Structures are given as structure tokens and as C-alpha cells.
Structure 1
């Protein structure tokens, strides 16, 4: 059975502001890494068929060894769909020797205007079996909290 992990949050920012943060490499480095990690974008091509490579580094790899190395998770992400300002679909492949982390995981970011902001729902399908579901959903919720803080601060600065 195909595994689906999901997280959702209302963010007090316009859909266009949230969408822009999904397609800006500096923004991604700031908000995408969940608590306990930092990220670095190494390649960037923001168009359907393009993508990026991100290296996520654990701040403390003692209890959470990485998929790519002891302290890192490297992921190749392709943009399968870009529909401003409503939807971004990504195909993610982790660089890992362990077959439990192999395969293509699809990440769909759905943005829906709601009173006072944007409902952001991220849905991960075909999640590799080696990724713990509870940990993954916690990490997605952490990334959404980071995204909210990032874009809400930008909205306040612009407003």
C-alpha cells in the first residue's frame, strides 16, 4: 500500500507570498530544514523539468544519523508542476546507499486562500519505507512552522 504523509497549516500571508517562498533558494534554505537541521541549496533551476539539490545537515547527528552520510541527507528534487500561486509538485530522491530510502517521493504543496491567509497542505506520497512516518510528519510540521515564521515576517516588513 502506498504511504501518504501529510501536514497542514494556515499561514497569515497571501498565497503569492507563500508560493514565492517555495521557489526562492535562499528562502528554502531558511525555512525548509526542520528543527535540528540546516540546509544548503547546491543547484537551482526553478522551472517544470528543472529542480534543485539540497543538502540537509543535522546539527547533532548523535541520535539521527543521516541518509547520505552520518550527518547529512542530500536530496535531488525535480519540479514536476508549478501552478502559481496554488500548487508546487516536487519529485524527491534521497542520495542513500540503504535501499529502504530508495525511490521517488512526491511532495505536493497545495496553497488555498482562506480568510486572513493561506492554507498550506503538504502531502508526501510514495514515502520510502526507511523514513519513519511519525518523524517525517513531525519534520513536515516543523518546516511549515518555519515557513509561516518566514513569510509572516516578510508580510509584516512589506506591510
Structure 2
């Protein structure tokens, strides 16, 4: 598993580490409308999936805003931001921030995404910061487990990977 810290303290990631070349694991999360969403909902699209602890924190908010801007420039790429935030909080935050190009999804119910992608932090039941690019055939083409959860990911590498995925 990836070695990850949260505020410089080591955390235990629950689930399976995902690697480039893997078939993307399926998952079930909730939309802001409380509807179940799975990887199959994005069939035929490239998926840039970001896992964040909470959109109500500075780095997560900045990351989601950045990917919202970038999503408007990419064709056939769907950006998903998944956190343990409740769907109501995600919807409120997106409305306040003008987020229209990213699907914010909640893993709070079952931690299905967190466990399937190895980003569920055992100590605080939040998701570690990570990015996954999944091509239109559901093959993982890019993975970044951010070593320190409070740091930003490598935006440029993730965006480039999404643009190059087919």
C-alpha cells in the first residue's frame, strides 16, 4: 500500500491499492440527489477521479475548483470528486462555488469507493487525497496517492493523463 500521512501522522489505508494497468474497480456512491452512482454511469467516457477528505477544506476546495475549470476544456472526460461529505453538504458547496463541470459524489454510506481504491483512512474514516484516470474501457491509466493528504496533487500530470486517455 501507498505510504500516506495526514498532518504528518501516518495513516492506515483500508482496501486495495490501485495501479496503472488495473481494470478499474467498480463502486457505489451517492449523487447530490441521493441516487446511487457506479462506474457504469460513465461508460464510454474517460474518468478523472479525485478522492478528497472534504470539499469544506482549503486544499480540497481549491482542487475541486481547479478541476472544475479544467473539465470545461476537456472533451469526453468526466471529472468525479468523491469524498465522505454528505450529499447535502456537497450540493450546497457546489452551488456556492459555481461548480458545474464536476460530479461531486458521496462515499459516506458504504465507503465502497474508499475500500475499492485503497483510499479509506482507517483512523478518521475520511478519504485520502488521490487521483485516478480511467480510460473509456475502464483501464486505469494514471494513479497518484498524494503522500501527505494536506498537500495538493500533481494537477498537470493528472490533466495530461486524462487528455491522453482514450
Q: With structure 2 as the length reference, what TM-score do the two structures score?
A: 0.30
User: Hey, which of these two has a bigger chunk of strand by percent?
Assistant: 1
Higher Rg of the two aligned structures: 1
Structure with bigger RCO (C-alpha 8 Å, 6+ apart) = 2
